[in-house]
Structure 1
Amino acid sequence: MKSWMWIGVIASMGLIAEAGTLARFRTPLGDVDVELLDEDKPVTVRNFLTYVQEGRYRDSFFHRWVPNFVVQGGGFMVRHRGTTNSVFDFVPTLPPIVNEYSAGRTYSNTYGTLAMARVGGQTNSASSQWFFNLKHNVELDGVDGGFTVFGRVIRGTNVLNLFVAAPPANNVFRVNLGSPLNELPVTSARPTIGDLVFFDVTLLQVAVERGSDGGASISWNAESNLVHLVEYTRQFPPVWTSLIRTNGNGGRMTAKDPASDPQRFYRVRSEP
């Protein structure tokens, strides 16, 4: 399976042109790549990244699915996953954060956006839980100060679309285990714990820096055992030209483009 993420270079010498942090949600149904809105929603993004980097989402799963509305995660995990002692448990939470709906640029709860979930009626109550909008849920913009959008899907809407139709369409099912797991998505009509829609979040963090000589430095978090290709274009619709092809090392990698061309836009692709 091929995937890609792209980023543009600002035509200002010496400045860093950086897209938001890129988070990849790996699920049994496919991957979803999300650009986080670091600049406009810094508290919310920092909170999410803390959960990821501290491993608080380990063995978590999507726990709420309302077809053609939202699919939600970040609240529950499986302790002792893969053993006969597997049990549901809460994601260990940090203190709630301030609502940033109106901070920076305002983003509506439209299809393909990622937003923070909250306790009903409590504006500043978001902690670990979030949801993907499966349609234009603009009515959420006016509820208790608005639900804060802090990311947008840039690849993987085909995965989101599996949750649009009511079950059992697309071989995604829903079971009722009692509140709060009464709208639980699973991948089998007779599910076990292994049929939960688990997710794992990887941070890609692609950035481009243009130096004083006009050249560009493209850096990203590489994935092990995958080939990474850095490409550029000067036109849209894009026609991509290869800059470098390299094997991912599981760490931070950098590619250099000596060309002094501020009109170049870059992307990094990964493939097996």
Structure 2
Amino acid sequence: MRFLLLFFALLTLTACEDTKKQSEASTPSAVSKKVDTTAKKPEKTQTKDLRTQALPLLTEATADSILRAYGKDNPETRAKITTKYGEIEIELFKDTPVHRANFVYLVKEGYFDNTYFHRVVPNFIIQAGNSDNADTNRKRAKIGKYRLSAELENGRRHKRGTISGAKWYRENPDNKSAAYEFFIFLGPEKSTGHLNNKYTIFGQVTKGMDVVDTIANLPADEGEWPLNNVYISIELLD
């Protein structure tokens, strides 16, 4: 009898051990259950501060002289415009010193980041530098309200890929440029009658005109604003 009782006791103990082991094996370990807190979250786009010198608030009366001085210390002449459709590389002309310096300054201030190509006209132009984001107005308020004096003495004429300062309005007898917006010309030279000697040409596309063509042909509303925003960012190459 004692032998039978001992036998049944050993049998019961063995069964409990097997059950415990099977339970432990089928349960995820504490390590595998732990949430991975080291995974990186998407980072917000941050504007890199590239300023080489702080400028005072620019006004119509002071902008030209301040930017001419700024341009002497900031001689960059090449830039890259990045869009979701590709990249556009441009050259800035030295013989339009105010417009070149203004463009360089706006790039270094991060102004163009998250603005758009906000006007697209097939076989004519694409225009950039504006947006309906509140952040754009805040940037303008920080930099200043001003226009740039015309720089037309070089006699350049609009051709495919030229970059010009836009205007707040066409009937502009002093031909001053809006400080924050520019356009790239695509159209035939026969379409330049109201542009030549009226809009300052301060640059030229050197690479990426296929991207310009793509953007120009995007669907747009009656106001020539693309139906889907074409965000841009701009960086200086040298």
Q: Normalising by structure 2, what TM-score?
A: 0.59
Q: CA deviation at 1:131?
A: 0.4
Q: CA deviation at 1:106?
A: 2.5
Q: CA deviation at 1:53?
A: 1.0
**Residue in 2 that maps onto 1:127:** 179
Aligned ranges 1:1-272 → 2 under 5 Å? 21-37=77-93, 39-76=94-131, 78-79=133-134, 92=140, 93-102=144-153, 105-119=154-168, 120-122=170-172, 123-135=175-187, 136=189, 137-142=191-196, 145-165=197-217, 172-176=218-222, 182-186=223-227, 195-205=228-238
Q: Do 1:78 and 1:89's aligned partners in 2 also have CA atoms closer than 8 Å?
A: yes
Secondary structure at the aligned position of 1:175 is classed as coil
1-structure distance, mates of 2:125, 2:109: 26
The residue type paired with residue 64 of structure 1 is R
The residue type paired with residue 161 of structure 2 is G
Q: CA deviation at 1:50?
A: 1.3
How many residues of Structure 1 are paired with residues of Structure 2 in the alignment? Answer: 156
1:89-109 alpha-carbon deviations (Å, 9 max, x no partner): 58615411100022xx32211
2-structure distance, mates of 1:161, 1:100: 27
Q: Do 1:134 and 1:163's aligned partners in 2 also have CA atoms closer than 8 Å?
A: no
**Residue in 2 that maps onto 1:169:** none
Higher helix share: 2
Higher strand share: 1
1-structure distance, mates of 2:100, 2:91: 10
Q: Do 1:91 and 1:128's aligned partners in 2 also have CA atoms closer than 8 Å?
A: no
2-structure distance, mates of 1:27, 1:160: 10
Q: CA deviation at 1:42?
A: 0.4
2-structure distance, mates of 1:130, 1:94: 16
1:144-170 alpha-carbon deviations (Å, 9 max, x no partner): x421111111100111121455xxxxx
Q: Normalising by structure 1, what TM-score?
A: 0.52
Q: Do 2:164 and 2:183's aligned partners in 1 also have CA atoms closer than 8 Å?
A: yes
**Residue in 2 that maps onto 1:5:** none
Q: Which runs of 4+ in 1 moved over 2 A?
A: 75-80, 88-91
**Residue in 1 that maps onto 2:72:** none
2-structure distance, mates of 1:20, 1:127: 18
1:154-206 alpha-carbon deviations (Å, 9 max, x no partner): 100111121455xxxxxx22134xxxxx21114xxxxxxxx41001001001x
Q: Do 1:112 and 1:157's aligned partners in 2 also have CA atoms closer than 8 Å?
A: yes
The residue type paired with residue 184 of structure 1 is W
Structure 1 vs Structure 2: percent identity of aligned residues? 27
Q: Do 1:97 and 1:126's aligned partners in 2 also have CA atoms closer than 8 Å?
A: yes
Q: CA deviation at 1:52?
A: 1.2
Q: Do 2:150 and 2:200's aligned partners in 1 also have CA atoms closer than 8 Å?
A: yes
1-structure distance, mates of 2:76, 2:155: 15
Q: Do 2:78 and 2:236's aligned partners in 1 also have CA atoms closer than 8 Å?
A: yes
Q: CA deviation at 1:140?
A: 3.5
Cα 1:20–1:110 change in 2 (3 A) is farther
Secondary structure at the aligned position of 2:80 is classed as strand
2-structure distance, mates of 1:149, 1:48: 12
